[in-house]
Homo-oligomer: A and B are copies of this chain.
Amino acid sequence: MKKQQDKADIISVARQAKVSPSTVSRSYNHPELVKPATRKKIEKAIQDLGYVRNRAAQTMHGKRSATIGLVVPTVNNAIFSEVIQSFSEAVDKAGFTLLIATHGFDLAQEYALARKFMEHRVDGVALTGLDHLDATYNLIAQQQVPAIQIWSYASDARLPCIGADNREAGRVAVRHLLALGHRDIALIFPPLEGNDRARLRLEGAEEELAGAGVTRIARWQEQAPYSVGQAKDAAERLLATPPLPSAILCANDVIAQGAIYAAAKLGLRVPEDLSVMGIGDFPGFAEMEPALSTVRIPARRIGEKAGEALSAAITGATPGGLARARVPVTLMPRGTTRPATGQSRTGSD
């Protein structure tokens, strides 16, 4: 009930509780070192004064800032929201606060954001994917901040990474289509720069397709975060230009959604007239009617693992430092793909 007008600091709390600032500090950071009775007094004072401790001050003192920075291309997309959510939950559980920033697939922007994070003295930083500027790598090395790449895995990545092998995902998808007998397969992919996920999936797909099927690729130019709308347009253009492929492989589920809408618009039935395959298995796509055939990339697991690993590395719980991990991708054959029956135009259910 004292002068709680002035912003309370640890000293006013100490005064109010009739102890020294050191003791107040200790009761926060090493409670076992202060006598229960004293702790009670202090807690009361804190309560009375509405004191909120100042992380900035402790950060300045060399203590950890208790923050972790996460950089993603965009939040506005089913693709990343699941990793973000699970990553956030994991670091939260470990007591960290999450700084988040989006770069819209612009790697120079990504560097700027990483720098901003460093200014805030984040205890760790997570980057999306494997493609980054040299400047970014250097910054991280020089500042000696624990860093991790999430979403993609590669054994030769410059930084520890936890994610899926996107090349493998591309292969798995194509293998599924080939196994179903498809030979005339079209691909729909977004721009590749600054997007190793798409790039690697495409590489994997093309490797597997080599010599197998005839391929056309539809793309679009805008570097904007890919959307269902753009994908639908691209697919529509592709499908409107003969010959009609028997199957389409899309870089991810969102694009597949667009392709399916395009097919519907053109009166093509999926999967009777056209098989459509996604990559990702994001929430909601299994419930589609028919359900989307896709390659599952366990986003929740990746985010969670990455969050836990990074937190652990920071608190020193992991002796060996940040570990890499490849989480497996799994084929989810569902309703939007079916065997190529030689001639794709027979209907009659």
Q: List the interface of chain A (C-beta within 8 A of B).
A: 4, 7, 50, 52-57, 59-60, 65-67, 74-78, 81-82, 84-86, 88-89, 92, 97-102, 115-121, 142-144, 227-229, 232, 254, 257-258, 261, 264-265, 283-284, 286-289
**A56 surroundings in chain B (CB, below 8 A):** 55-57, 59-60, 65, 120-121
Q: Given A76-B81, A284-B257, do A55 and B119 touch, yes or no (CB 8 Å)?
A: yes
Separation in Å of the A76 CB from the closest CB of chain B? 4
Q: Distance in Å from the Cβ of A213 to the closest Cβ of chain B?
A: 27
Query: A144: which B residues are within 8 A, CB to CB?
Result: 7
CB pair A119–B65 under 8 Å, yes or no, is no
> Which of A120, A258, A261, A288 has the largest number of chain B CB atoms within 10 A?
A120
* Bound CA span A265–B88, Å: 35
Q: Are A286 and B89 touching (Cβ within 8 A)?
A: no
Q: A76-B85, A81-B81, A264-B289 are in contact. List 10 more A-B contacts (CB 8 A).
A: A55-B119, A67-B99, A67-B120, A74-B85, A75-B81, A88-B102, A92-B102, A257-B284, A258-B287, A261-B287
Q: Please, which residues of chain B bring their CB within 8 A of the CB of A54?
A: 60, 119, 121
The 9 A-B pairs at the shortest CB distance, nearest first, are namely: A228-B284, A264-B289, A76-B85, A56-B59, A56-B56, A75-B85, A52-B118, A100-B100, A55-B119
* Distance between Cα atoms of A7 and B145 in the complex (Å): 12
How far does the alpha carbon of A56 sit from the alpha carbon of B99 in the complex, in Å?
Answer: 14
Contacts of A57 in B (CB 8 A): 56, 60
B76 lies within 8 A of A232 (CB): no
Residue of B74, B75, B121, B265 touching A289 (CB-CB under 8 A) = B265
Q: A116–B120 Cα gap in the complex (Å)?
A: 16
**A99 contacts B99, C-beta separation under 8 Å:** yes
Selected from B82, B88, B232, the residue in CB contact (under 8 A) with A287 is B232
Q: How far is the CB of A263 from chain B (nearest CB, A)?
A: 8
A284 to B231 Cα, complex, angstroms = 10
Residues of B within 8 A of A118 (CB): 52
Q: Which residues on the B side are within 8 Å of A7 (C-beta)?
A: 143-144
Q: Which B residues lie within 8 Å of A88 (CB)?
A: 75, 100-102
Check B102 against A100 for contact (C-beta < 8 Å): no
Q: Are A52 and B119 in contact (CB under 8 A)?
A: yes
User: Which of B84, B119, B227, B228 sits near A75, CB closer than 8 Å?
Assistant: B84
Which residues of chain B are within 8 angstroms of A115 by Cβ–Cβ distance?
Answer: 52
Task: List 10 interface pairs A-B (beta carbons < 8 Å), by A numbering.
Answer: A50-B142, A52-B119, A53-B119, A56-B121, A76-B84, A77-B81, A229-B283, A257-B284, A258-B287, A264-B289
Q: Is the CB of B85 within 8 A of A102?
A: yes
A283's nearest neighbour on chain B, judged by CB, is B227
Report the Cα distance A121→B52, complex, angstroms: 9
A232 nearest CB across to chain B (Å): 5
Bound complex: CA A120 to CA B99 (Å)? 11
